[in-house]
Structure 1
Amino acid sequence: MAAKRKLFEDVGAVAPVAATPGLIDGRRGARRGIRVWLVAIFLLVAMMIAVGGLTRLTDSGLSITEWKPVTGALPPLSETDWVAEFEKYQASPEFQLQNSQMGLEEFKSIFWWEWGHRQLGRVIGLVWALGFVGFLAARAIPAGWNGRLLGLGALGGLQGAIGWWMVKSGFVGENVDVESYRLATHLGLAFVILGLTAWYVFLLGRSETDLMQARRAAERKLVGLSTGLMHAAFLQILLGALVAGIDAGRGFPTWPDMNGQFFPADAFYVPGRPVWAAFFENPGLVQFMHRMAGYLVLAFGMVAWLRGRQSAHGATRGAFHGVMAMLVAQVALGIATVLTAAHMDVAITHQIGAVILWVLIIRARHLAMYPVAGSIREGTA
């Protein structure tokens, strides 16, 4: 039978109850270490997007005609190996219809771009696998994060398969390029992986307790606007991939008109294809959609910025200022890309600009959802 207790005995006399795992922070795990690991993956994926863009701009993507995830990590090591690899390329439509004058030395230059692109993908997969298995074995993954981190790796594996699905389309019939909608799928998934990684980095930069408290002060309208801007920017990225896939950026090197017209002539015509195919394959129509979407994203971004600059939180205001500045710069880069007929340096800068803008939008959305309380005394309010 339990002993009787005095009326006020429990005040300051009862031993503190141990925190129950799973409440608020639960198993904190190695949040800082996992964050560093994810930052490394983020930088590698951003580099992968840039290298992929250069691979496309140098017409190197179809130089390797086979998909060998393991053995393909080794490049040709002898002259005999190089000749054998070149012979495989010579059987492709791209060589026969477009590059029939190419010699072995020229082939080597485009081979190295594609090999580097694929090798970087292998490095990303290895960094993810080593980190995930290591943190998992050490039981250092915070509660609720196993599925998120595993899902990131699964998306990376899917990206590799989609990459080959894209490249394979360039060896069918008389294709001398990969199909544009497959390129858009490949690039779109790369931005999804990059965006998720950035979001996880932002979340792991603060404790679960801090995030739960900050969520109560979330600016709902601003979250909605930034979410809409994120979706609009993603659509514009996909349209940009369609432009790159059919070299539509080189056909109308004038602005604000398109070779003297607002709407390009024969926009809905693609030889031997139905009308709907023009939205993916007609250079004029695809570039027109990309231009119009760019204007809409700029307008949407201005609305989000005007709302964001009224935020009560200094960090949030700063984040939306950054988005607006980069959005204007990205539009200017897009115009420069058009006027230079997609010159390599300008075009790749435009693609890198899309990466920067994408991450800035995600960061602004994060701060709208989880605002950082500032201090009037320190001037951070």
Structure 2
Amino acid sequence: MRRNFLPILGLLSLFVLGSCSADRDPKIASLKHAVEVADSQLLDAAAELDTTNCFPRSLMPKFRAVDAKDWTSGFFPGSLWQCYRFTGDEKLLAEARKYTDRLEGIQYYKGTHDLGFMVFCSFGQQMETLHDQHSEEVIVEAAKSLISRCDPRIGLIRSWDFGEWNYPVIIDNMMNLEMLFWASKHTGDPVYRDVAVRHADITMKNHFRDDASSFHVVSYNDDGTVESRGTFQGYSDSSAWARGQAWGLYGYTMCYRETGDEKYLKHAERIADFIMRHPNTPADRIPYWDYNAPNIPDAPRDASAAAVISSALFELSTLVPEGEGKKYFDYAETLLMNLSSDAYLAGKGTNGGFILMHSVGHLPADSEIDTPLNYADYYYLEAIGRYLSLRGLDPRRI
């Protein structure tokens, strides 16, 4: 979710055009505008739910608000914290505190695998901003709740408690492991890290095809053998759901950062290669909702997948051997700049207060299609932060 990129600024000369000053760089100007839009939009969305205990999630097409137990509840407060660090806007700070407070108590909830999204993207961002002990305590409790969903016979954190699967695990769950790595480092207890590593290893073994594309859902029998492989949100059991590819790329990049285990780096590079070389990738590189969608080029795009991919590739560009990062940086930069164009970036006062347009939540269920999504905004802001850090730029001075 987060990484301080400033220590690797010595790598910048390998892949950044340093000759153009920031104040004359059209890319930086574009991101400056995007941050201004984000500040305005986030405050609009916050005001929409000022007197409730809910969180903005999407437009369907009307404004969709959710409660704390929704898997997306942590993204909006996390976006507020990120944008506050970009701008110093005290109004954003007040809203970030308020919306994070609405998640108080969710750290004890054991009915979901998405506590990483819910807690580490909210209290984790608060911790990074305020360095407060309370956020640390909340995150540790959330990590305890999350590992309670791991059956030691199977070695994986169970994803869903619904459906006809025996023990479903979705590729999205790779994103929730970062909180476990943090908890082990913070407490000195290896149990969280051990669960994360075993989950990542078994997922790498069973979730991926030979071309590094991913199944969405793999279900396990009680003895740990695979019951089934398929999809829930993608086009078909054999297709490559775009956001699933993004989750995998981000997750294994993070696992390498946290462990230094080369197998995770190599796997992340294989996933990146699948994404960057796929023949169905459109010219602007914002992927269709599924790489095998039947109605390409008329299939909906998924800006949320693009935002996650961009953020992940910026980090991956810093982790590969010297000289190999440029291709990842360049691809991530192209995604970020296209997301920052009028084609995807909302105008102030529009789009229900969300920042990006044109994402897809769950197309097979006819849910959240070609709409803004709060997690698209979150990872878009994270990608901006990583990009500016790699450029050696302070967001408040661009």
TM-score of the aligned structures, taking structure 2 as reference length: 0.28
Higher Cα Rg, which structure: 1
TM-score (norm 1): 0.29
